[in-house]
Amino acid sequence: MSVATSSYGLRPNPGANTPGSLGTNDRAVPNSSGLLAVTAGPVGVNDSCDPRKTCQVGLQVGWVVMDTRPFPSDEYFVKLASKDFEGSVAWLYLDTSGFVTIGNGHNLEAGGSSAVAPPAVFQVKFLDNPTTDQIEQAWLAIKKRPSGKHHPWTEFEDVTSLRIDPAEMRRLAGIDVANALRYLKLSYLFPNVDEYPVPAREALLDMVFNMGPGKKGGCKGLAQPQYADLRAAVLYRDWLTAAQECYRGGVLKARNDWTKAQFLAAADWDRFGNSLDSSECVSKL
């Protein structure tokens, strides 16, 4: 008989009625983090192989598997730079709200609209090392242009000669993702976010990145009243409901579809855990 040997960090699933049980051949011991660790032995009576050939050894729905995959993933940064998300713009432009922006949606006026060039723009590593005066003149030229959904970033390409390369775009995106991630982890909204499957964390991260952080008692970002059902679903790890409640206005359908798919992937993670490859799936027969 094939033997599956793996170790998992587990927590009780708040969305389950009762904790599940280990397989008859599995061992459960506390790990270094105080979580329940499971070493899977040969398939036991509580183990299962689902019809899609996805293995789940030693776990039932009452326990959830801790997702230790890299977060944020490289795939998320690729998505962020795609035309369906923030896009990749090498020049200064005005976003639909009238803020000076560059790269993958990097807002240079995060502190509020500014008629003069703010410190943030001088921290951008432009190509050809422009002078302070050149940067200030470029800023003024951009601010004089109309903005809004009828004035896309393509209209700003010839307004200034300032440019950044892909490496600088990634650096600036890293700053924005780190800020969104910091808020997500410190937010009162989701105190257990580090325990969520990576797809759910990336869905929430992207919503914060896109809408900005919400403030307790305020009406911004995920704190807005229309996301009350989403927040409740996330707290109870009800990813299927979260997938139905994560719609955002003002973004492309592809971005909303991706967010929904991430929550559905999180539901699969909580259901099947860190599944074995189908070739390792052991029949009970």
Residue at token pair 């390369």: 165
Q: Quick check: is 43 in a domain?
A: no
pLDDT score, position 56: 36
| Range ranked top by mean pLDDT from 80-84, 107-111, 148-152 | 80-84
Residues 153 and 180 reside in one and the same domain: no
More confident residue, 232 or 27: 232
- In the predicted structure, residue 139 carries a pLDDT above the cut 60: yes
Question: Is the per-residue pLDDT at 15 higher than 50?
Answer: no
Residue 138 shares a structural domain with residue 224: no
CB atoms under 10 Å from CB of 208, counted, come to 22
Q: Looking at the structure, tell me whether residues 211 and 264 fall in a common domain.
A: yes
In whole numbers, what is the pLDDT of the chain averaged over residues?
A: 77
**Pair 237, 15: CB distance under 8 Å:** yes
131: left (phi over 0), alpha (psi -120 to 50) or beta: beta
Residue 236 clears pLDDT 70, i.e. is over it: yes
Residue 176 lies in a domain: yes
6 located within any domain: no
Q: Indicate whether 253 belongs to any domain.
A: yes
State the alpha helices, DSSP H only, in 98-238: 119-122, 132-143, 166-186, 198-211, 228-235
What pLDDT shows up at residue 3?
A: 31
Residue 109 belongs to domain spanning: 89-164
Look at residue 55 and tell me if it is in a domain. Answer: no
Domain match, 188 and 100 both: no
Tell which of 129, 164, 199 closes a domain.
Answer: 164
* 129 and 179 part of one domain: no
Other CB atoms within 10 Å distance of the CB of residue 256: 15
* 263 and 174 share one domain: yes
Nearest-CA neighbor of 15 among 273, 241, 285, 174? 241
- The pLDDT of residue 214 is 60
Residue 129 lies in a domain: yes
Same domain, 139 and 201: no
3 state SS of 92: strand
Task: Report the predicted TM-score, pTM, of the whole model to 2 decimal places.
Answer: 0.72
- Specify if 228 maps to a domain: yes
What pLDDT was estimated at residue 114? 79
- pLDDT at 189 (0 to 100): 87
For residue 254, give both structure tokens. Answer: 């592809």
Residues 62-83 have a mean pLDDT of: 87
Check whether 45 has a pLDDT greater than 50. Answer: no
Same domain for 176 and 133: no
Q: Are residues 187 and 267 in the same domain?
A: yes
The number of domains in the chain is: 2
Choose the final residue of a domain: 145, 164, 183.
164
Residues 185 and 264 in one domain: yes
Q: What is the pLDDT of residue 60?
A: 37
Write down the pLDDT at residue 187: 79
Q: Quick one: pLDDT at residue 7?
A: 34
Domain final residue, candidates 144, 164, 184: 164
Same domain, 173 and 259: yes
Instruction: Give the pLDDT score at 27.
Output: 42
Per-residue model confidence (pLDDT) at position 275: 53
Same domain, 157 and 182: no
Whether residue 131 lies inside any domain: the answer is: yes
Q: What is the pLDDT of residues 192-206, one digit of tens each?
A: 999 999 999 999 999
| Residue carrying structure tokens 């919400």 | 214
Give pLDDT, residue 219: 56
| Percent with pLDDT over 70 in the chain | 71
